[in-house]
Structure 1
Amino acid sequence: MIAASELILNPDGSIYHLNLKPENIARDIIFVGDPDRVEKITSLFDSIEFSTQKREFKTQTGTYKGKRLSVISTGIGADNIDIVLNELDALVNINLETRTIKENLTSLNIIRIGTSGSLQTDIPVDSFVMSKIGLGLDTMLRSYQNDSVTIPELEEAFIKHTNWDVRKGRPYAVHCSEKLEKQFESDSVHKGVTATAGGFFGPQGRVLRLAIQDEKLNTKMDSFNYNGTKITNLEMETAAIYGLSALLGHHAVSLNAIIANRANGTFSSNPDDTIEKLIDYVLDRIHIQ
């Protein structure tokens, strides 16, 4: 039996942070960061059966063209992903009444719709990127036994190429779900490695008043190449989603609307339009699963 201090429930029996019960979620789940983006997606649904919000975690479940879907806002960062994915897994794979792990486990399909900045000059603003691999610079996954899902050869190559300071922790790399990669890929979507940073300013090379540990890190990431695959973009969630999903037996893929290009200093003139086009793309692909 899992102790009450480890699996925390609200008085109504819902999972602590997400405020959800097992019947409130679909098996196909779209992740967004911003709670306000949830309704940008669900406004396209045929119907909404359930809605709740606690802190930055907003969930709506409904039907789109006959398919039951949930949309959940995760907030920002790998620490929030740790909460969301563990609690979603508990909803489907732990009996909340007996606090025991179920004998037959359920796999969720998780599709992230995010925004990001490109690190490559040939990936322009207003394009889409699918993260074939998530490269975690945040170290969250290192709290778990992760050798079964990580890519040590890529990690070593990145550490060597960037002269990574190991005092920041060892980066980790994880593939996306092969099943979902095939479902959401197309000629209009770029693929590559998405780096997941542990913060927005210094960890992503932004300098305001504080000096950063490696001011050339972004330039080094621009030129990194692993078996022909480059680091396409930099954000704060993808590698954590891939790592925990793989460890827990779920399928995950992350798609980002590129609204900035860090390599040439440009920003989208209409980022909302780009995000809406990515939402339409994902809904079309998720419906034909």
Structure 2
Amino acid sequence: MTNKRLYHIGFGQEDLGASPPTIALLSGDRDRANFIAQNYLQDVRLLSQNRGLDSYLGYLPNNRPILSATSGMGAPSLSIVVNELVQVGIRQIIRIGTSGSIQPHIPVGSIVISSAALCRQGAANDIAPMEYPAVADPFLTVALVQAAQALKFEHYLGITASVDTFYEGQERTDSANPDLMRSLRGITEEYRRLNILNYEMECGTLFKMAGVYKFAAGAVCGVVAQRTVDEKVVLEQKEVAVKNAIATAIHAVMNYFPSL
């Protein structure tokens, strides 16, 4: 750990006060990090907006310090942020993201809690070999499930496919590149048959980093696309899905994982 400000996140351990947080809620979208800070935390202080990676220090209603931080889009950006968060003392990270369902029974507006990830990510290969398991912390995952149950949110627990690209890697053809490589054609159906629940772009690398760096990681994502029906994000239901994912993470930290 260091007392210097880290190059990318723009703050250091000395900026976190006398009782520094050990847990961070990590969002790809800087607006989501801001929303969490302004609507769920108390005595919020902006730590940095360096490189668009907004980070906030605040307190939960039970007075526990916590960070709401931005990872940026994709695993390479997340890997930098997570490395530096660990350097300033963070020991538990919950990713709060968005996701596309690839199972017909998982609707837009619900949430997916990832128990593990099929990790098809180049950044992760720099952390550990391809064979290294990308698994969420079991205690943090159970806490997220208990929170979703208590809040009566429609939720699903299972394996997530973490890939590097939003279009080609998730077999989208309605884009600037409709001509996918042969290795990607039919991959969504293959993953569906393997009982993978959803696509997203960060948690596989996060889980591998957790194993190597020795911190606890979990992930909860709002479902904003139903890939058995359409490639597009359903904006009308995105807000409720994201808010439910956030509320699940907050409730888990406050009520079911008190030793954080």
**Normalising TM by the smaller chain, what interval?**
0.7 to 0.9
Gaps of 5+ in 1: 1-6, 93-106, 152-173, 225-229
Cα distance, 1:273 vs structure 2: 2.3
Runs of 4+ more than 6 Å apart: none
Quick one: which amino acid aligns to residue 240 of structure 2? D
Q: Which residue of 1 aligns with 2:11?
A: 20
**Shift in Å at residue 176 of structure 1?**
0.4
Corresponding letter in the other structure for 1:198: D
Structure-1 separation of matches of 2:60 and 2:113: 23
Q: Deviations over 1:223-265 (max 9, x none)?
A: 11xxxxx211101101011011111000000000001110122
Contact 2:11 2:47 in 1 (8 A): no
Q: TM-score, normalised by structure 2?
A: 0.85
1:90 paired residue among 82, 87, 92: 87
Between Structure 1 and Structure 2, how many residues are aligned?
238
Deviation of 1:80 (Å): 0.7
C-alpha distance in structure 1 between counterparts of 2:206 and 2:52, whole Å: 17
Q: Following TM superposition, by how much is the alpha carbon of 1:146 offset from its aligned partner in structure 2, in angstroms? A: 4.3
For the residues of structure 2 that align with 1:242 and 1:114, how far apart are their CA atoms?
A: 14
Moved more, 67-76 or 20-29: 20-29
Identity across matched positions, percent: 22
**What does residue 277 of structure 1 align with?**
244
1:283 alignment partner AA: I
Residue of structure 1 equivalent to 2:155: 189
Which amino acid in the other structure matches residue 160 of structure 2? T
User: Which of 8, 30, 42 is 2:37 aligned to?
Assistant: 42
Measure how far apart 1:126 and its partner are.
0.6
Deviates more, 1:241-250 or 1:261-270: 261-270
Q: What is the distance in 2 between the residues matched to 1:51 and 1:197?
A: 30
Relative distance call for 1:189 and 1:270 in structure 2 (3 A) is closer
- The two structures, once aligned, show a CA RMSD in angstroms of 2.1
In structure 2, the residue matched to 1:103 is none
- In structure 1, the partner of 2:217 is 252
Measure the CA separation in 2 of the matches of 1:256 and 1:274.
8
Partner of 2:66: 69
State the shift of 1:189 in Å: 2.4
Contact 2:21 2:64 in 1 (8 A): no
For the pair 1:123 / 2:106, whether they are aligned, the reply is yes
CA contact (8 A) 1:33 1:114 kept: yes
**Which stretches in structure 2 are left out of the alignment for 5+ residues?**
none
TM-superposition CA deviations, 1:103-133 (whole Å, max 9, x none): xxxx611111101110000111111100100
Matched-pair contact (CA < 8 Å) for 2:124–2:208: yes
Separation in structure 2 between the aligned mates of residue 215 and residue 234 of structure 1, nearest angstrom:
15
Shift of 1:85: 1.4
Counterpart amino acid of residue 150 in structure 1: Y
Letter in 1 for 2:193: S
Q: Distance in 1 between matches of 2:220 and 2:30?
A: 17
CA drift at 1:143: 1.8
Deviation at 1:204, TM superposition (A): 1.2
Distance in 2 (CA, whole Å) between partners of 1:242 and 1:75 is 17
Q: What is the DSSP-based 3-state SS (H/G/I as helix, E as strand, rest coil) of the residue aligned with 2:49? A: strand
* Aligned positions of 1:134-149 closer than 5 A: 134-146=117-129
Contact 1:146 1:247 in 2 (8 A): no
Is the contact between residue 78 and residue 236 of structure 1 (CA under 8 Å) also seen in structure 2? yes
Q: What amino acid maps onto 1:59 in structure 2?
A: S
Partner Cα distance (1:268, 1:144) in 2: 34
1:194 Cα deviation from its structure 2 partner: 0.8
